[in-house]
Every structure is written in structure tokens, then in C-alpha cells.
Structure 1
Amino acid sequence: MSLLQLTDTQISTWVASFILPLFRIGAVLMTMPIFGTTLVPTRVRLYFALAITVVVVPGLPPMPQVHALDLSGLLLIAEQIIIGALMGLSLQLFFQAFVVAGQIISVQMGMGFASMVDPTNGVSAAVIGQFLTMLVTLLFLGMNGHLVVFEVLTESFTTMPVGSAMLINHFWELANKLGWVLGAAMLLVMPAITALLVVNIAFGVMTRAAPQLNIFSIGFPLTLVLGLVIFWVGLGDILNQYQPLATEALQLLRDMAQAR
């Protein structure tokens, strides 16, 4: 009775066909919003990455033969981590646009001091920014944005095979989109800023017309209340503001992955 004979090449091929996709998928899950936050334990993210890898590996193109302790194998692993991290960070830009928008609105309406610890990132952020982040998270999950991310991630193994990705182009694409965050945030808050500017101008006219009026005693609470009302009215159009930004963010992800 003969025993099963396995060569080093066969073992290396089997290991590479699973390990290399695992590092790219794991890097995406560790850096992307929602799944990559501190609210999701690292062990859960690792189990999730293992489960996705087991499902998608049979349909992936053949992986290059590498040796686990060879320098070329370590470079391929580093390449997969960088590609996955860039894909995750491109989605972070989309969510940070709403955080910046909330911060701008908070400062304009006098609620810049109202901040709380962000449970997702562990830093202090404005309350309105936290509200917008939770709202966008629900919209992203409700419209199956996470499924689009997983689809692009799976297709990236065909469009950017292991060992042939051009990372410089992806760094350049991501750097060009950094200014997009501030521009998107300004588009989100422009109606609220304009309305609050009119309110402040009205307070200035009142001060000139009645100098004895203590504008500071009534200006701050009135600005706060009017700011909340303006923000509440603006939420009625949040879906129309969310859709083009989400489309732009997912298109950036597809462009980076060179997907269809």
C-alpha cells in the first residue's frame, strides 16, 4: 500500500492559493468602514475573512507558485495587504465626507462643543457627525453597498492578478480623491451654511437697529434652535445627497480594482 506523496511545489501551490487571497480580503475587512471599526472584534473579522476566502478561492484564477519563507513570497503578501488596504481606505473617504459635514454644521450652529467619543474610531467627534455616520451606515447596508464591495473585491483577483498589480497607479488615484472629501462635505452642508449665514446677518441687523439689545443672550440659543430645525429639514433630502456620493465612492473602488 503506497502512501500519498506530496512535493514541495504542490504544497506551495495549495498554500499560495489560499494564503494570498486571505491577506487581500483580510486587509479590506480590517480597513473598510462598518466591518473595520473597533465595534467588530478582530477575531470576528478574521473569521469572516477566512469564511469569504474559503468561498471565493475555488473561482479565482491560478495563483503563482511561491515559497512561504522566500523573499518573493513575502513581497507578494505585502502587495496583497497594500491592495486591500487601499480598497478599504477608498471607502473610508466616503464615510469621512459625512463626518466632516457634521463637524462643519456643528461649528456653524454653535454645537462644536457638543462632542462624544466615536465608538467606531475611538476619537472625539461632533454629535451631528456621529448621527450622520450612523445614518449613512444604515443606508449603505440597506442598499447592499457591502455586497458591491465584496463583488469588486472578488473581481479584483481577475483584473489585478497576484504579482502583476501596479500599485503606483492606485496610490495616485487615491491621492487625487483626497480633495473630494472636503468638496463632498461642502456640498452636503452648503444649504445649512447659507441658511445659518442669513440668520447671523439678521442678528447683525438687529444689533445695529437696537444697540441696547443683548444679542449674545438670545443669539446663541436662537441660532442653536434654528440650526437644529434647518438640519432636520435638510434630512428630508439626505437620500438624494447620499446616492451620488455613494455612486462616486463605489466607482472609485471599481476604478482602483480596474473592475467593470
Structure 2
Amino acid sequence: MLELSDAQIGGWVGQFALPFFRVASLLATMPIIGTQLVPMRIRLLMAVAVSLVLVPILPDVPTVDALTLSAFLLVLEQVLIGVMLGLALQLFFQVFLVAGQLLAMQMGLGFASMVDPANGITVPVLGQFLNMLATLLFLGMNGHLVALDILAESFITLPIGEGLSTNHFWLIAGRLGWVLGAGLLLVLPAITALLVVNLAFGLMTRAAPQLNIFSVGFPLTLVLGFLITWVGLADVLSQYQQAATEALQWLRELAQAP
């Protein structure tokens, strides 16, 4: 009959279960993998697979009793670290939704929205288009592998039992304004061009008051907005690389010890 001691059970809990909670929390909250498009069972199997790969190379983890308050606090700590890293990636993808919202409002497409199947919320069509483009670029440039690499490094720079500090939460709060700034910078040329178009229509109205600017300007603004957006896509890659570099660097800073 196989008998297991408390020390053996505690060692297994600390060696596998604690890293598993950090990995599973990240995969459950990060974009793409953590969306509703990926079933929960698939995410759970991915978390188990990643944990099995990481456990042999991780530094020593504390041995804890499975049913004690200290074990519960360690599990809660790992969940918070994983959610924090996943939230950082979510903020990066929100940049493109904000950019699409700003551009849609300037074009007069603020009413054109659709249900995002990944998050289950209503987003502007242009925002969804930019979000899909960012998703393809993120996967094409192996951004998900970089995120997993940073996760693996976090077990060294932020060991289990080290604890979080208020600096991590201040880093997240400080990046909330970065989302709006990066989104505005992404579509600033298009917004500026559409502003010039609207100013031109205003001058036309002053010069010819009998001209029905609403019946003429609205469709022209839409057509020119789509044309400006199409031309601006040529520079999306460079702007995406800059935003992705800043986001991943910020993610690496979050994974550092306090």
C-alpha cells in the first residue's frame, strides 16, 4: 500500500501546484488565449502542459502544508501575479480598440458597432478591425511566446513567496493613461486629415449657405475616412512594433522583484 507523508504532499503542492496557479491565471486573463473563443478545458490543458515544462527548471519553492492558511496565501499570491501580467497584455490590446473608437467617431461611424465574439462586448467596427489586425501581428511575431518567456523569468525575478509590492500596482495604474495616448497616436494622422476635411465642409457652408452640407458632407466624410484609413495602414506595422515593444518591456518590469 502506497503511503504518502505530509512532507511529500507539501513538496508536490509547492513544486507543481503553486507554479500552475500562476500559469493558469495568466492564460485565463491574457488576450487571445484567455478569451471566450478558447474553451476553458483547452486553457486548463495548456496551463498543465506549460507547468510541466517549467517545473523541472524552476528554482526551489517553499514546502507548505496543503490545507493551511500559508498555502492559501501563496496560491492567492500566484493568482494575483498571473492576473497582473495578463492585465498588462490586455491593456496593450485595448490601445487598438481605443484607436478604432476615436477614428470611428471622427468619421461618423460611431453608431456602427458589432459584438466582439472574443470578449462578448459591443465595440466599434473599426476598433474590431484594428484589434483583429493587432492579434494577427501579435501571433505572427511570436508575442505569445515572448509573454510565456517573461512568465518563466518571473519565477526567478519574482520567486514564489516573495510577495507583491505597491510598486506593481502603481505601474499598472500609471499605464492606464498610456492606453489613451498610444491609441490617439496610432490614428492621429487620420484624425488630423478628417479634421481638415470637416473644416473644408465648414468653409463650403459659409460660402454657399444653400448647400445641404449634411446630405453631401456625411457620405463624403465616410468615403474619405475609409480612404485615409486604407492609406494609413501602410504605417501600422511600425507603430505596432513601437507599441508592442513598450508593452512587453512594461510586462518585463512588472515581472521584476519589488
The residue type paired with residue 150 of structure 1 is L
Q: Map 1:1-260 to 2 at 5 A.
A: 6-258=4-256
Which digits, 9 at most, give the CA deviation of each residue in 1:158-193, with x for residues without a partner? 111111132322111111111100000110111011
CA contact (8 A) 1:83 1:167 kept: no
The residue type paired with residue 171 of structure 1 is F
Shift of 1:62: 1.1
CA contact (8 A) 1:16 1:65 kept: yes
- The farther-off stretch of 11-20 and 240-249 is 11-20
State how far apart, in whole Å, the 2-side matches of 1:18 and 1:154 are.
14
SS at match of 2:45: helix
Structure 1 segments of 4 or more deviating over 6 A?
none
Number of aligned residues: 257
State how far apart, in whole Å, the 2-side matches of 1:169 and 1:216 are.
51
State how far apart, in whole Å, the 1-side matches of 2:148 and 2:164 are.
21
State how far apart, in whole Å, the 2-side matches of 1:236 and 1:77 are.
46
1:168–1:180 Cα change, 3 Å? same
State how far apart, in whole Å, the 2-side matches of 1:27 and 1:217 are.
52
CA contact (8 A) 1:94 1:181 kept: yes
State how far apart, in whole Å, the 1-side matches of 2:66 and 2:165 are.
22
State how far apart, in whole Å, the 1-side matches of 2:218 and 2:42 are.
46
SS at match of 2:61: coil
Which digits, 9 at most, give the CA deviation of each residue in 1:25-79, with x for residues without a partner? 0000011001011111111101110110011111001111111110000000000
State how far apart, in whole Å, the 2-side matches of 1:43 and 1:171 are.
30
The residue type paired with residue 106 of structure 1 is A
CA contact (8 A) 2:106 2:191 kept: yes
State how far apart, in whole Å, the 2-side matches of 1:161 and 1:217 are.
63
SS at match of 2:114: strand
Shift of 1:7: 2.1
Backbone CA RMSD of aligned residues: 1.1
CA contact (8 A) 2:77 2:164 kept: no
- Structure 1: segments with no counterpart, 5+ residues: none
TM-score normalized by the length of structure 2? 0.97
CA contact (8 A) 2:9 2:65 kept: no
CA contact (8 A) 2:98 2:183 kept: yes
Shift of 1:5: 5.3
The residue type paired with residue 49 of structure 1 is A
